[in-house]
Amino acid sequence: MTDNALEVPVVCDVCDTTTRVPLSDLPEAVQRHNDQQHDGDDIAQVDPEIVQHVTDLAAKDIGVAEDEA
Ligand SMILES: [Zn+2]
């Protein structure tokens, strides 16, 4: 278990799997799964319950959060 890499659960309803991937690999991991397993269809996705949380974190990271100006 690594503390310095935030991992995000990617859920695939068709495969009935949940895979934790590092946030930095997230787009590639989702696309790779869908390309290889589902012929490019958008099936696997980030756990919806996590999306908002990750979006918040990412926004803070990038500095797009509320306290500009
Ligand atoms: Zn799948």
Indicate the pLDDT class of residue 27, thresholds 50, 70 and 90: very high
Average pLDDT over every residue of 54-65: 72
Q: What is the mean pLDDT of the chain?
A: 84
Question: Which residues contact residue 35 at a Cβ distance below 8 angstroms, ignoring those fewer than 6 apart?
Answer: none
**Is residue 45 predicted with pLDDT exceeding 90?**
yes
**Is residue 3 predicted with pLDDT exceeding 80?**
no
Tell how far the Cα of 61 is from the centroid of ligand 1, in angstroms: 30
Spatial distance between the Cα atoms of 63 and 69, rounded to a whole number of angstroms: 11
Tell me if 9 sits within 8 A of 15, measured CB to CB: no
Average pLDDT over every residue of 19-48: 94
Tell me if 10 sits within 8 A of 51, measured CB to CB: no
Tell how far the Cα of 37 is from the centroid of ligand 1, in angstroms: 6
Tell how far the Cα of 68 is from the centroid of ligand 1, in angstroms: 40
Tell how far the Cα of 63 is from the centroid of ligand 1, in angstroms: 33
Average pLDDT over every residue of 39-54: 88
Tell me if 63 sits within 8 A of 28, measured CB to CB: no
Tell me if 46 sits within 8 A of 13, measured CB to CB: no
